[in-house]
Amino acid sequence: MKKLALIAAGLLLAGSAFAQQALFGPAGVESPVINEDGTVTFRYRAPKAVRVTLSGDFLPVQKVKMGDREFEMQAPVDLKEGQNGVWEYTTDFKVAPEMYTYTFSVDGNSVIDPNNVFVNRDVATVSSVLLVPQEGARSDLYAIHRVPHGTVSKVWYPSATAGFDRRMTVYTPAGYEKNTKTRYPVLYVLHGIGGDEDAWVTQGRATQILDNLIARGQAKPMIVVFTNGNISQEAAPLENSMNYTRPTMSLPQTMEGTFESAFPEVVKFIDANYRTIAKKQSRAICGLSMGGFHTLYITLNNPDMFNYSGMFSAAIGTGSEERAAHKEIYADMDAKLATYFSKKPALLWIGIGNSDFLIQANNDFRKKLDAAGYPYEYMETDGGHIWRNWRIYLTEFVPKLFK
């Protein structure tokens, strides 16, 4: 490999240090390392740094005071400087099988781990990923295995409502291309505020979950459609013709009814372009946070469209319904619930974390369902408004579909 090393040196040295293809970061530091005893070691090279800390959602929850409020949070931990300016931290506990994200803070500046190629983008935030899979553990569903893989496509559909083409992600299960006579049920999966059509595939590991559940025989082969819920936008950053420098909470047409009222055009496009089973019995929808809110209202306004609906940490009860442009979407909840349940949907599924700030609103909604005797399934997990929970909910919801 001597000559290859020469090429590498050439690539790294030749001409401009920056403009050359940035091949690799500084070599020789291994991070993260899952140790044999189940602990994990993190390293970061920073010879001039005064303090290096690690934030990650695998760290123990502690009570932390911020001003006059106390929060339960996973407080950062300090790395210790060792030889050659390499800082290091090893957990004093086994890190449970899961998919985590983490960043370092170097003298106050947040950085990803340059020695870890697993990087996730969530809008403008980039984090390093630590995946600890274990046979039999749920997180094993998040890993890639040597099972048949579906195809994941970025597809543009014409939105009459928006007046331009919009991008979605479509998963077709393994075998879709070969089995040209087979028709498939469809699951629509919606993201949260600030997300886009990439979010469930990157942070949510949805296509790995689908591949693995289908390969195990725990889910039916199905088409899965990941929409972009920001109807005023065409697509994720860098795939957008608009001057989209930074998403803000004031993105127009968010949670005011336009996306929900336009949803049938998405279903129509999918039914026209894929081999779907185009009827209620073979359609499901679910979403997280804003997407759970979307799911509820799309379901109620189209009671003949979806047989299975999943609300994951749904952002209901936020008051946005009152100031909506399309008030009709949010109006007459009681009557719409009555119509919806009179048509005997196969499943309304609700999941939320016990420390999610939306749990009260979800409890209120469940009380309304209980009072009317409407059936639903409910799952409460530890933790808050986090991707760990949304991945869990997807692994729970998908096996219940199209049975």
Name residues contacting a copy of itself, limited to 186-205 (CB under 8 A): 192-194
Rounded Cα distance between 103 and 128, Å, is: 6
Q: Residue from 68, 83, 108, 373 that binds a copy of itself (CB under 8 A)? A: 108
> What residues form DSSP beta bridges with 38?
none
Under rule CB under 8 A, residue 122 binds a copy of itself? yes
Closest to 293 (Cα-Cα) out of 332, 256, 336: 256
Rounded Cα distance between 338 and 4, Å, is: 69
Least distance from C-beta 379 to a copy of itself, angstroms?
18
Q: In terms of CB distance, is 108 or 373 closer to a copy of itself?
A: 108
Q: Residue from 206, 231, 235, 348 that binds a copy of itself (CB under 8 A)? A: 235
Under rule CB under 8 A, residue 246 binds a copy of itself? yes
Q: Residue from 35, 153, 182, 232 that binds a copy of itself (CB under 8 A)? A: 153
Contact segment (CB under 8 A) with a copy of itself among 6-14, 299-307, 344-352, 364-372 equals 6-14
Under rule CB under 8 A, residue 241 binds a copy of itself? yes
Report yes or no: 173 and 212 within 8 Å, Cβ to Cβ. no
CA contacts within 13 A on the Cβ side of 328: 5
Q: State which of positions 298-357 bind a copy of itself (CB under 8 A).
A: 315, 318-320, 322-323, 355-357
CB atoms within 10 A of CB 208: 22
Q: Residue from 160, 250, 373, 403 that binds a copy of itself (CB under 8 A)? A: 250
The secondary structure of residue 84, as a DSSP letter, is: G
Q: Residue from 86, 106, 224, 266 that binds a copy of itself (CB under 8 A)? A: 106
Report yes or no: 179 and 170 within 8 Å, Cβ to Cβ. no
Under rule CB under 8 A, residue 275 binds a copy of itself? no
Least distance from C-beta 192 to a copy of itself, angstroms?
6
For helices 359-372 and 333-342, the axis angle rounded to 10 degrees is 60
Q: State which of positions 280-299 bind a copy of itself (CB under 8 A).
A: 289
Q: State which of positions 159-178 bind a copy of itself (CB under 8 A).
A: 164-165, 167, 174, 177
Least distance from C-beta 351 to a copy of itself, angstroms?
15
Q: In terms of CB distance, is 119 or 372 closer to a copy of itself?
A: 119
Backbone angles phi, psi at 41, to 5 degrees: -110, 135
Under rule CB under 8 A, residue 35 binds a copy of itself? no
Closest to 315 (Cα-Cα) out of 370, 260, 265: 260
How many residues are listed for the chain in this entry? 403
Under rule CB under 8 A, residue 255 binds a copy of itself? yes
Contact segment (CB under 8 A) with a copy of itself among 35-43, 87-95, 123-131, 343-351 equals 123-131
Rounded Cα distance between 76 and 111, Å, is: 13
CB atoms within 10 A of CB 349: 21
Q: Helices then strands (H, E): number in the chain?
A: 9, 20
Backbone angles phi, psi at 194, to 5 degrees: 90, -15
Least distance from C-beta 346 to a copy of itself, angstroms?
29
Under rule CB under 8 A, residue 118 binds a copy of itself? yes
